[in-house]
Amino acid sequence: MGHYVIRRLLQMIPVFFGTTLLIFLMVNVMGDPIAGLCGEKQCDPATVAQLRKEFGLDKPTWQQYVTYMGNLFTGDFGTAFNGQPVTELMSTAFPVTFRLTLVAIVFEIVIGIALGVVTGLRRGRPVDTGVLLLTLVVISIPTFVIGLLLQLLLGVKWGVIKPAVSPEAPVDELIVPGLVLASVSLAYVTRLTRTSIAENRRADYVRTAIAKGLPRRRVTTRHLLRNSLIPVVTFIGTDVGFLMGGAIVTERIFNIHGVGYQLYQGILRQNTQTVVGFVTVLVLIFLLANLVVDLLYAVLDPRIRYV
């Protein structure tokens, strides 16, 4: 197990360098960021030269990348154009998005798996068909439509929630945005669980368990569910990174100042430091989430052993 983890961690190094280099090049290709800093006016050349020097933009791209990576290992993510260190932006943005993602994941796990189990056990019944139809509807409607609709109905018409989340973004205000963010994945989790459960129901070990006279509840949770969860866990694990990066639409609708907001601003203002910094952290989260998923397999299925 230890060897496996070390090997996986070592594999992360080339992926890490590759992705950061790609992002770095992509942002640089977009052109000169300083040009947009003076509004509709032309920045005066002397100030431009000075700013370029300050942000290290006067050097060739490869040198910028090397310097950037060097700084990264000392914990210095550079400075955003408004003079704020990127680490400071991260310390405000990541907790908010982390909370939002957590709410979304909890929804996925609780509602998604519960619906999946119910429909999987009652395949072909009205409940199953109903939920299947519902998931189809959710998958086919774009997230921003669901978001704006819920915001309008719950926020403006019925006054149940506030249309915009406050700066502190407490968990209770994130419930509706979290549900919106989770909606599509939730539908997938339901469908995945349903198929998996329905298949394993006919497996030998389930029949054996029932034949042994185990209580129905124990058969479902201990034997059936546990084995059926492997594809679902894989999906949810990869979804963590996906949700954090993809929260941009939901965050915009509900005015949540998280990772999506900072990335959007960074791209609009072509702020290399912000974009590369945030994406680097997102890549790390993505890789770690995948590692955790792989390790969870062993917990779920004792037959899977890593050497």
Partner 1 sequence: MRRATHARWAVCAVAVALAATACGGGAGGGTSPGVVSASWGDPQNPLEPANTNEVQGGTVLDMIFRGLKRYDPATGKAQNMLAEKIESKDASEFAITVKPRWTFSNGEKVTARSFVDAWNYGAQLKNNQRNAPFFSQIEGYDQVHPESGRPTAETLSGLKVTGEHTFTVKLSQKFSSWPDTLGYAAFAPLPRAFFDNHKAWLAKPIGNGPYVVNSYTRGFQMSLRKWDAYPGEDKARNDGIDLRVYTDSNTAYTDLTAGNLDLVNDIPASQLKYVEADLGGRYINTPAGIIQTLAFPFYDPKWNKPGVEKVRTGLSMAINRDQITKTIFRHTRIPAGDWTSPVLGVAGGFKKGLCGEACTYDPVKAKKLITEGGGIPGGQLKISYNADTGSHREWVDAVCNSINNALGDEQACVGNPIGTFADFRNQISRHKMPGPFRAGWQMDYPLIQNFLQPLYYTNASSNDGKWSDKEFDRLVDQANAETDKAKAVRTFQEAEKVVRDQMAAIPLWYQNGSAGYSARITHVELNPFSVPVYNQIKVK
In the complex, which residues of this chain contact partner 1 (CB under 8 A)? 30-33, 35-47, 49-51, 54, 81-84, 88-89, 92, 95, 98-99, 102, 151-152, 155-156, 159, 162-164, 166-171, 251-255, 257, 261-262, 264-265, 267-270, 299
The total of other beta-carbon atoms located within 10 Å of residue 93's CB is 23
> Would you say 227 and 299 are in contact if contact means Cβ atoms under 8 Å apart?
no
Find the shortest distance in angstroms from Cβ 183 to partner 1: 19
Q: What is the DSSP string of 141-189?
A: S-HHHHHHHHIIIIIIIS-SS-SS--TT--GGGGHHHHHHHHHHHHHHH
Find the shortest distance in angstroms from Cβ 127 to partner 1: 28
Judged by beta carbon, residue 88 or residue 199, the one nearer partner 1 is 88
Residues 6+ apart with CB under 8 A from 273: 55, 68, 77, 78, 79, 80, 86
Find the shortest distance in angstroms from Cβ 170 to partner 1: 6
- C-alpha distances (whole Å) from 195 to each of 118, 122, 123, 142 are 11, 11, 9, 24
Q: What span, in angstroms and rounded, lies between the C-alpha atoms of 76 and 93?
A: 17
Find the shortest distance in angstroms from Cβ 150 to partner 1: 12
Find the shortest distance in angstroms from Cβ 50 to partner 1: 5
Find the shortest distance in angstroms from Cβ 16 to partner 1: 24
The alpha carbons of the chain give a radius of gyration, in whole angstroms, of 24
Which DSSP state fits 79?
A: B
> Would you say 229 and 192 are in contact if contact means Cβ atoms under 8 Å apart?
no
Judged by beta carbon, residue 69 or residue 281, the one nearer partner 1 is 281
Judged by beta carbon, residue 151 or residue 185, the one nearer partner 1 is 151
Judged by beta carbon, residue 82 or residue 129, the one nearer partner 1 is 82
Judged by beta carbon, residue 125 or residue 305, the one nearer partner 1 is 305
Question: Tokens 């709410």 label which residue?
Answer: 103
Judged by beta carbon, residue 47 or residue 208, the one nearer partner 1 is 47
Q: Which residues pair with 79 in a beta bridge?
A: 85
Find the shortest distance in angstroms from Cβ 194 to partner 1: 23
Judged by beta carbon, residue 30 or residue 66, the one nearer partner 1 is 30
Judged by beta carbon, residue 90 or residue 127, the one nearer partner 1 is 90
Which DSSP state fits 215?
A: -
257: phi > 0 → left, psi -120 to 50 → alpha, else beta; which? beta
> Would you say 282 and 245 are in contact if contact means Cβ atoms under 8 Å apart?
yes
> Would you say 227 and 124 are in contact if contact means Cβ atoms under 8 Å apart?
no
Find the shortest distance in angstroms from Cβ 167 to partner 1: 4
Query: Which structure tokens are listed for 132?
Result: 């299947």
Query: Which structure tokens are listed for 305?
Result: 């052993």
